[in-house]
Amino acid sequence: MRAARNRDCVFVVLTEKPRPEGALKSWKLTIEYDGTKYSGWQEQRNARTVQGQLRKAAEEFFDGAVDIQGAGRTDAGVHARAQVAHLRVRRENEADTRRWPKPEEILRAINSRLPSDVCLLDVEEAESSFHARHDAIARTYIYQISTRRTAFFKKFVWWVREPLDVAAMSRAARMLIGRHNFIAFRAEDKSRPDESPIVVVGDAGIETEGDLVVFRITASHFVWRMVRRVVGALVKLGLAEITADDFSRLLEGKTYPKLDVAAWTAPASGLFLDRVTYPEKSSATRE
């Protein structure tokens, strides 16, 4: 505030200080990555992870601590076409009036700091309450099986040498739709000992694309190793080593000595987190 005078009066001119844009800012990140050389998405001590690489790049750009959480914790060797994460940055000084970087600036800056096998596809401003995992209503995974040896895509497929009955596999895949007990397909997760094996699958099916057999499944959530073990069982069915009735029993939560699902777990190489779905009134801030 400053005072100004003329001959007849004294008046006051108010000069406002710039208002801070807010001490907390959130963004929604969409990321693709080749998981071959990583110990999964989730940060671990003494292990190279995708989340760790992303955090390192973001903290270097923002010159301070950040909060990054993903929509799904992909395992070692698993890839993502469109993983989603939230990025939150809190300024310690609430009077800090520097403008926040624009989404396109964050995209360029973080990509320039990431290794070549991790890439930001998109950055959007988000509400401060947006949570990549908790707000997601569905996740879609795909699994790629190659029916021939390939020189170029080995680390992105599972090559099954023997002929497969794809029609039988496709019929079984449709059986996955609905509410099932996936205890036969679940690996023990010590971090979630009380997790229910009940999963509601919204859609599932198999398509062929040339030499590829592509399995796609969408559900609100997945128990650990579920998709890879389902694929392993589908391949056993395609090889005529189990029957459709065997597969149906597994979906009822029944296990038998001859149905060693854990031993059938498909390799990580063919699995991709393909899409994460959010409600229409979602995370991203609309103008």
What pLDDT shows up at residue 13? 38
Q: Using CA atoms, how far apart are residues 133 and 278, in angstroms rounded to an integer? A: 10
Low-confidence ranges of the chain (pLDDT < 70): 1-22, 93-97, 281-287
Q: What positions carry a catalytic annotation?
A: 75
What pLDDT shows up at residue 143? 98
What pLDDT shows up at residue 287? 38
Which H or E run includes 53? helix 50-62
Q: Using CA atoms, how far apart are residues 219 and 260, in angstroms rounded to an integer? A: 24
Q: Using CA atoms, how far apart are residues 50 and 36, in angstroms rounded to an integer? A: 11
Q: Domains in the chain and their CATH numbers?
A: 24-135 (3.30.70.580), 138-276 (3.30.70.660)
Angle formed by the axes of helices 50-62 and 103-111, to 10°?
120
Q: Are 45 and 93 in contact (CB under 8 A)?
A: no
What pLDDT shows up at residue 184? 92
How would you classify residue 191: left for phi > 0, otherwise alpha for psi between -120 and 50, otherwise beta?
alpha
Q: Using CA atoms, how far apart are residues 179 and 160, in angstroms rounded to an integer? A: 29
Q: Using CA atoms, how far apart are residues 137 and 282, in angstroms rounded to an integer? A: 11
What pLDDT shows up at residue 97? 65
What pLDDT shows up at residue 22? 58
How long a stretch of residues is the chain? Answer: 287
What pLDDT shows up at residue 2? 47
What pLDDT shows up at residue 280? 84
Summarize pLDDT for 8-50 with one digit per residue, the tens.
443 333 334 444 445 889 999 999 999 999 999 999 989 999 9
